[in-house]
Amino acid sequence: MCGIIGYIDFDKNSNADVLKRMTDSLHHRGPDDSGILDEEFNNCKVGFGHRRLSILDLSSHGHQPMTFMNLSIVYNGEVYNFKEIREQLVKEHYVFNSDSDTEVLLKGWHCWGEDLIQKLNGMFALAVLDRTNQTVTLLRDRAGVKPLYWYRKNNLILFSSELKGLHRHNAFSKEISKEGINLYFQYGYIPQPYTIFENVYKLESGHCLKIDLVNQTIQKNCYWNVFDYYRKEKIKITESEAIVKCESLLSSACEYRMIADVPVGVFLSGGYDSSIVAALLQRNNSKKLKTFTIGFKEKSYNEAGYAKDISNYLGTEHTEYYCTSDDALNILPLLPDICDEPFADPSIIPTILVSRLAKKDVTVSLSADGGDELFAGYDKYTGIKKKIDIFNIIPNMAYPGIRKILETKLAHKAFEYAGYTDVNNRLFRLAQMIGQDEVRILKSASIIFSDLELNHLLGGADEIYTGFDDHLNSNWLDNLLAIDYKTYQVDDILFKVDRATMSCSLEGREPLLDHRLIEFVARLEPELKIKNGDRKYILKKIAHKYIPQSLLDRPKQGFGIPLSEWLGGQLKNYVSYYLNHKRIAESGILNPVFVDSLCRDYYSGNLNKVSFKKIWVLLMFEMWREKWM
C-alpha cells in the first residue's frame, strides 16, 4: 500500500521541488521509502511521486517510480495474482530483478499494454508514463478500493491518492463545487466522480484515464462495470452447487490476500462477514491468526463480546479495545486532515482505533467490507421490498391524496407519538417514496438533508446525476445491490477504510471484493441472497459449516457508535464552537439562521425536528472548511 501523486504541466511551470512537496504530503501512506520522477517533453513536463509502504519484496528493488524501457510507473495497492502473471511473462522472455508486483505490472504493461488490466486480481491505483506513445494513463481497480483523484484547470493536470496532495501545488485552485457540497449534505459523503472542489474528480472505480501529451486530450474509459454482471443471464445452478462454488471463490480470495512479506491480521466484528473470513484463514493456517476488535461500554453498540466468542471458537490470537468518548474527543480534531474532504460517517472513529490497534502487531489487516452489498445484508433491502409491495396494492390515483395526508399535522403527531425522531424529514422522504420504484426509494431513504432543507441551508438544491440514478431494468434486489456497490460502498465504506488504515500506515485488504466472487454472486438468483426474508442466505449456509449458528445469529448492529450520547456530552463544545452563528455567517456558505434552529431544536430535546446525523454532518463540514479553505 502506498501513495502516488503527479502532474502533467503543459506550461512547464512545475518542478522537482513542487513534486517533492506534493509527495511528502502522503508520507503516512508510505513511510518506508519515497521517490520522484521529473521529465520534460516537447509539449509538457511530467512528474511522478511515490511514497512506499513495503509489503512485498522489502528490499530497494521495489523502489518507485520504476522504469523499464519506454515505461515508468507509480502504483498504490496489491496485485494478488502477480506470481501467475509473472510466470506468463517469463514465458515471453522477460527477466525480473525483484520479487515485487510493481515490476510485474510494469513489464506486463510493456508486453500487453492496456490488455493487462483484464488479467489483474487486486486493488490498485496507478499511473503509467509511455514515452513512445507520449501518454500518461491513470487506472483504478474494479471495486474502487484504492482512491485516485485528478484535477484539470487550464494547462495543468494533477493526480493524487488523496486530495491533500493537490493542495501542495502552488497552481491548485480550491473552489467549492456546487455539486459536491449539495451531494455531501444529501448523503454525508460525495459520490464519484464528484468531489468537494471544482475541477477535481474521483477517477471512478473500474475506469482508466488516458492523457495525450501531444494534443492535450483526455479520454476516459470504463473497463469493468458491476452492472454488466447483474444484467447477464442468471447462472443455472442448484443451491448446493452455488454454495460449493461460492465457498471456493471465498476461500481463494482470502488466501490471495494473505500474500505478504510482513505480518497479516483480520478485523473481527463477530458478524457473518468477518467471521467467515477469519474462519477460512484460520482453517488453512498452522499459526494462530491475529484478530482485532473495537468495543463500546454502551451495550446497544457493543459487539466485542460476540467477536470474542468467535475468536475463542476459531482459536485466533485476539486483541480488543473499548472505545470511549475520550477516544472520540482525541480523534475528532484529526478527522479533517485524515479525510481531507467532508465526510460524515462517524464509524470512521472506531475504524481508526481498530486500525491503530492492529498496527501494533501487523502491517496488513483484512476486513470484510462488501459483504452486505454483495450478499444483501442490510435491513433496508427487505424494508424497501415491503414498501414496494404496499405501493403495488394502492391504486395510482390514490397517491396524491396519500402525499397530502403525510403533510398534515395529524400525520406529524402520529409519527411523534410512535417515537420517531426527525419527523419532518421522515414524512418528506416517505411522501417522495409513494409510488416510486426501488431505485428512487433507495435514493430517498439515503438522504440526510431533504431538498426543502437544502434550500434553507444552501439557498438551493440541484438535481445531480449520480450512481443513484442508474437503473438495471432488472430484479428489484439486483438494482439495489448494484447501486449500493457503485455509491455507498465505494465512497463511504471504502473511503472510510482507506483513510483510517492509511492514517496509521496499515494496509487494508478486502477479500469480499474479489472481482471473481462479485461476478459470480451477481449472476445468482436473488432467492439465494434473500430467502423467505432471511438476508445473506448463501453466505450464512457457508458460514455454518465452520461456526455454529448459535454463535452467529443475532440482530444486525452494524459498525455504529453512540454518537447522540457523545454529542450531548464531551463533543458539545465542538458543536458550540464550529456551528457558532458568527462563524457560519462569516463563511457565507451555510445559512446561519437555519443552522441555529437545528442546533437549538436538537439541544432542547426537540428530536422530532432534527436528528443527531444532521448535527454531525454540519460539524464535519465546518471542521473541514476551517482546515482546508
**Alpha carbon distances (Å) from 34 to 4, 139, 224:** 10, 21, 31
Q: Which helix (H) or strand (E) holds 280?
A: helix 272-283
Annotated binding site for L-glutamine: 101
What's the CA gap between 508 and 494, in Å, rounded? Answer: 10
Catalytic choice (2, 44, 246, 254): 2
Residue 417 dihedral angles phi and psi, to the nearest 5°: -60, -35
CA nearest to 205, candidates 140, 150, 151, 127: 140
Residue 442 vs residues 421, 424, 475, 518, 616: alpha-carbon distances, Å: 20, 18, 14, 21, 22
Sign of the C-alpha dihedral computed for residues 25, 26, 30 and 36 taken in this order: negative
CA distances from 340 to 148, 164, 295, 383, 454 (A): 13, 6, 27, 34, 23
Q: What's the gap between Cα 130 and its chain centre? A: 30
CA–CA separation, 415 and 419 (whole Å): 7
222 catalytic residue (yes or no):
no
Give the whole-angstrom CA distance, residue 515 versus residue 517.
5
Q: Using alpha carbons, list the distances in angstroms from residue 103 to 53, 62, 412.
A: 16, 8, 63
Please give the Cα distance from 275 to 266 (Å, whole number). Answer: 10
In the three-class reduction of DSSP (H, G, I as helix; E, B as strand; rest coil), residue 601 is classed as helix
- DSSP symbols for 501-547: HHTTT-EEE-GGG-HHHHHHHTTS-GGGTSBTTBTTHHHHHHHTTTS
CB environment 48-67: b (16+ within 10 A), e (fewer): bbbbbbbbbbeeeebbbbbe
**Nearest residue to 330 via CA among 353, 313, 297:** 353
Give the separation between CA 8 and CA 40, rounded to whole angstroms.
Answer: 10
Cα distances (angstroms) measured from residue 525 to each of 246, 507, 518: 13, 34, 13
Cell numbers at residue 49, please?
511521486
User: What residue numbers does the annotated binding site cover?
Assistant: 101, 294
Binding site for ATP, by residue number, is 294
The alpha carbon dihedral of 162, 163, 164, 170 has a sign of positive
The grid coordinates listed for 314 are 476459531
Q: Catalytic positions, please?
A: 2
